[in-house]
Chains A and B, each alone.
Chain A
Amino acid sequence: MRNPRPAAVWVGVAAVLFGLQAGAVAQLLASGLADAVAALPGVAVPAGLAALERAADAIPTLLSRETIPNRGYYDGSGYVGTFLGLAPDVAWLLRAALIYAYSFVTLGWLWVGYERYRTHYRIADWTPRDDVIDRFRGHRWGLFGVAVVVMFLVMVAFAPALSPTTTAANLENPYSHEITYWTGSGTETVTVGQANLGSGSQGTPQENVGPMQYDDFGRFHPFGTLPGGKDLFTFIAHGSRISLVIGLVSVGLSVTVAIVLALLSAYYKGKVDLGAVLVSDAVLGMPQLLLLIMLSVILSGTWIGKIYSGAFVLALIFAGTGWPAMWRSFRGPALQVSNREWVDAAKSFGQTPTTIMRKHMLPYITGYVLVYGSMTLGGAIIAIAGLSFLGLGVNPPTPEWGRAVNAGQEYVTTASWHISLIPGVLITLVVTGFNALGDGVRDAIDPESDAEEAGGASGRGGGA
């Protein structure tokens, strides 16, 4: 390395940025591992894992509920327990703003790192990929998509730190947690469950806690409360996790199947292609949402249906019903590349079919994976929300956006309009963001392409 300075500066700043949140990363990994083990049937979580989780919790993090607490109570003269004695809403806003600022700074710094690599260290002055990236940078609609998707991902990653309260206290076991509040003349302590009973949004102005309001127990609700008094923001932030996990797992699986099949059918053509066409047409011939409903009813009682509150089986079903549409989108480009000279050359060179497919065909279609993957992810989010709106899919009490829409169905035109409206607007926004990202990537990879025609239905989650 001729000039180590830019790299050293970059690594130094990156280390500081990571150090601020190292605890959160460790926590996320440890809890993810524990969840994965707990999801396996018939396996108890080993003590070592629990200890690991506690150790990860003990690492201090800057942007956490503990460092910037928003939960506190008014004792007549000032707030007790909140960050610097600020009002709970200000403390929460500060924390949320810091989390988003941190995320965007980190992302920007990664970009700086890439540019430094490009200017100082990469041997080639120019690669074809540079053009793709430059085109994407000039694509405003795609950048909007990136911004929305990043905001959604930050919400997923920082769900516990962003929420004004915890899932354990507010959603799962409200009766084993207590809060203190100011009654007007003194402080009193009640369980969260009792407080929830008095702070539900039931449609009338008296019984409603709207967005950015306090309830009678001095608790701040950024998105208001559910009819049962639970905090809607906590519900949505944690619900975003399950939506993304299902979406990623299902899209990952269906992309894998679709790519393998596309490569095989493009390489061998003829009977293999015909067989794939028949099977995919048969799956496509059954309306996806109906197939989802049928399978989630049938598989709900089995052990696989209980993993991760039923989300895992949903992801599997989604992958099983989603690959044909994706395969159809990959088939065209794969067929195109299989007719190129370099594939013929490789064949006459004596390379094995697997090598040809992997080395000479796969790179050509990977770009499309991002395009269709991103659009299908949006569709998966809609479909999962639609299923839980109908009462299928993800089991309560695990939060899911569609269930919030369902809960607020009766209150849309009342004072408690926020229950249905906010999750719906968020779904629309997130899906638009994923679609915009897909559009941007498509235009960046291949400005001439008209891939949207084929992808039209895939971004819609079977009509939910």
Chain B
Amino acid sequence: MLSFVLRRLGTMALTMLCLTLVVFFLVNLEPNLKKLAISQTEMHTSAEQLEGWLVNHGYRQNFFVRYGQWLGVIKKSPIIDPATGKASQRFSFCSDPVEPVYSGVLQGDFGCSTKFKADVSKKLFPALGATGILMFWVLAVMVPISLLIGILAGMREGSRTDRTLSVASIATTATPEYVSGVIFTVIFASWFGWLNGSAASASQGITFYNFTLPVMTLAIYGIGYIARMTRASMVEVMTQQYIRTARLKGLSFSSVVIKHALRNALIAPFTVIMLQFPWLLTGVVIVEVMFRYQGFGYVLVEAAGNNDIDLLLGCSLVSVFIVLITQLISDVGYAYLNPRIRVQ
């Protein structure tokens, strides 16, 4: 088991290395660098000045050298003024070094955000915290509801409850966040006026009034999917011999479901819930943009829109890490929960 986890962690590190290299390549394409230079300099700058800005800030160094600097295996060097020979920080608004040092992701330095004019870590981690709160509430709503729907539907396959709930869950999986968000806002904010169509005030304090719509919107897409997986798993368990035996012993239907079926039926949904995280990440971006909640998704969109290289790399690193770690947890957890499957 330990060697399995270690091997997976090794693959994970390799995957992250490859992916950050790809992202690094894409954000450093010539048009993107031009865009960055234009947004960082004054209006109406000549082409030579743009080029000068790029050279000055180290964007014209060798690609792999710069990747190494970001990673922290090559020393990051400050800007040296050619006239005076004096060293100065690359970006004055960040804690960039004035002497050549190893200062990359491996050392915990995520670089400098050109859009927010601050260290990436100062911007990224509070945003992750805000998104964490959102995620917590989404999971707190999504998991119980979807499991309940799945169990009720799968308990008696083919019954009226089953068919109604199944069609309802298919309908929610057909509703992406930007659709359900609009529909919920129209119903609950425009027509009834019960809820706030914007979560911008949630950064100061979360209330039922400003936080329900984002949570609802994010949860609804996942509910259908998890419910369908739970239903399939429940249906399979209910046809097993031991359920029939329990029924024939004279146990009541409810105690058969609760004591015998439930525990076995909940193994598969665990995996599904863990694998929902990558989906939730995309959903978070949409919902945060739609409801103006300043979390990870908002930061990602701002970084991508302004080609903020270091911030975008930080965002990719975090999201890829979340995807891979949840995959690992789901595999390990599955093997742990299900004694029939043991990893060699």
Tell me whether A and B are bound partners.
no
**Which residues of B approach A to under 8 Å, CB–CB?**
none
